[in-house]
Amino acid sequence: MTLGIIPARGGSKGIKNKNLVLLHDRPLLYYTINAAKKSKYIDKIVLSSDSDDILAYGQTQNIDVLKRPKELALDDTTSDKVVLHALNFYKDYENIILLQPTSPLRMSMHIDEAFLKFENENSNALISVIECDNKILKAFVDDNGNLKGICDNKYPFMPRQKLPKTYMSNGAIYIVKSNLFLNNSTFLQDKTTYYIMDEKASLDIDNLEDLNKAERIIKGFIA
């Protein structure tokens, strides 16, 4: 059994009421709820929020809603605390899929492909990623006033073609086994695999420019 958790707090800095702002005539939150509902592997969806307006919208979408306290909806509240709060109320689920509503172009196909990879590789966790420029591996850090390779002293002097590929979390999909998360509340468990998404699907809505870009992409999908 798999629990899909959608964290959607009321406050936001870049865009006011971001999770309910309209994107192609629907609230931003709609796209993540819709993707979760269409997923073949999510058995229950719960929307976690401090906002009565967001929770009311969730109820119109026929999913579970969970009111979380204000102290779990601050600017610096981390997703692990939100997940732990939800697990206090939903105890009988083997796996958790966390889906942030700021990734409206992540679809059910992505969720299902990621979950199959998670299962087929017998992983403990999975994080969706986008491939990024590996030149970061050539960087140095300050080590008590001396230079040290950011992760390996050989990498700064190697041709980029010989460096390992590097990936950044795109914030779209996080999967983890519930019992492991309860013991160690992180999505980076031992044996964490990854699911690569392209740049469009990885778009994360942080400001109005991102929202306008998503609007253009969605119109392209529909045309």
**pLDDT tens for each residue of 126-163:** 999 999 999 999 999 999 999 999 988 999 999 989 99
- Rounded to whole angstroms, what are the CA distances from 13 to 16, 92, 94? 6, 35, 34
- Nearest Cα residue to 152 out of 142, 137, 162: 137
Report the mean per-residue pLDDT for the chain. 92
pLDDT in the model for residue 221? 62
**C-alpha gyration radius of the chain:** 19
Q: How far apart are CA 201 and CA 106, in angstroms?
A: 5
Residue type, 41: Y
For the segment 176-180, the average pLDDT, to the nearest whole number, is 95
Query: Of 48, 43, 29, 20, which is closest to residue 106 (Cα–Cα)?
Result: 29
Q: CB-based contacts of 184: which residues, under 8 Å, 6+ apart?
A: none
Residues 178-205: what's their mean pLDDT? 94
How many residues belong to the chain? 223
Domains observed in the chain: 2-131+167-222 (3.90.550.10)
Read off the pLDDT of each residue in 31-46 and give the average, rounded to a whole number. Answer: 97
Pick the closest to residue 110 from 120, 123, 99 (CA basis): 99
For the entire predicted model, the pTM comes to 0.90
Q: Which residue has the tokens 């299902």?
A: 112
Q: Is the pLDDT of residue 7 over 90?
A: yes
Q: What is the pLDDT of residue 223?
A: 38
Q: What is the mean pLDDT of residues 104-122?
A: 97
- pLDDT higher than 70, residue 43: yes
